[in-house]
Amino acid sequence: MTRAKRQVLVRRREAPAPLAGSSNVRDTQSKPGPSTRRMRKSLLAWFDAHQRDLPWRRRRDPYAVWLSEVMLQQTQVATVVPYFERFLARFPDVQALADAELAEVLSLWRGLGYYSRARNLHRAAQLIAKRAFPSTAQGLRELPGLGRYTAAAVASFAFGEAVAVLDGNVSRVLARLRAIEGPLGLSEARLWAEAEALLDRSRPGAFNEAMMELGALVCVPGEPRCGKCPLEKDCAARASGLERAIPAPKPRPERKRLRMACGVAVTRGRVLLARREEKGLFGGLWELPSVAVEGASPRESLAAIGLRATGDEPLASVRRTLTHRELTLELYRCRTPRGALVGFIEQRFVARSELAQLGISTAMAKGLAQVESLLGG
């Protein structure tokens, strides 16, 4: 090879990567260099030897793969495993989920948080049941709740489509591998292009899982375990001594403090619950009718939605730390309302025995447990 050609290759390698899906990325995939082939081979060999035994890896059908990917969004693996197994036991296939009542779906989701995931899962199952399970990332993205990452994960894991994935773990691996400095969010287009260029198209599902597994077990935040990494020799951050500095930490937004007054109206041992539209905090879930306390007193705030508190002191309170909020629920005994409450689409009195079948948030469930003595059997 001439010196001029070598210089051209170096310049191309150092230039910003093209956007994923462009013709340049496809050309890179069709003619991978020796270092790319070595990285693919090393990573897949490592994954074959060290991958964790996870329940969704024992079932590769599209439904199980999709369910696991939705549950794993913003949620740790150890938390998801028992939910995944319970959910599949109750809804073993798409049709069973599509036929279920949303309340039961939300009930099984209780504790996982981000309940919009469960609502979208249910809506998407109903769409799939009417036609067929999309087998491409493009088709999957037409379903509610499936973004670029989730669609690519399902398409590659379940159908073998050669599309790359990019989640937090993969982003961190690629940022270190290519020494991409700064917050990950500012380099998203570059990282997608790197993921597409590195993808092993002969085993796309396994390769994507291998990248994710590497980020989860070895290329971890803060103190990566570089001595155990199959890509250590190819890692630019490691070669430069920047593996601890890359990626730059993401600034944590300050959590908003939210105080809510909850009305506890009990008649003959049955407690009044209400349900909002499917958006916002507690959207689509059953709750003790509640209202944000902002400026007005709790009694005045409850009166604004149609509830009359019998006192100024709460029966109990619950504190929960959510992703973006510090939440405080204050429970006030209230008289039985005479009409429909403001801001809710449904309300009814519920016996204690019915609570387990309803979709209720963890925070509200803790609140109900605090006033359990007011309820009948």
Instruction: Enumerate the active-site residues.
Output: 69
SS3 (DSSP) at 96: helix
Task: For 293, list phi and psi in degrees, rounded to 5.
Answer: -100, 105
Neighbours of 2 (CB within 10 A): 7
Q: How would you classify the pairing of strands 290-292 and 316-321?
A: unpaired
Distance CA 287, CA 331 (A): 12
In 3D space, the residue among 130, 133, 103, 128 whose CA is nearest the CA of residue 118 turns out to be 103
Q: What is the DSSP letter of 334?
A: B
Distance CA 139, CA 133 (A): 9
The DSSP bridge partners found for residue 321 are 326
Indicate the length of the chain as a whole number. 377
Helices (H), the chain: 3-14, 23-30, 34-50, 62-71, 77-90, 94-99, 102-109, 116-130, 137-140, 148-159, 168-177, 188-198, 204-217, 236-239, 298-304, 362-370
CA-to-CA separations, 232 to 196, 198, 219, in angstroms, rounded = 20, 15, 10
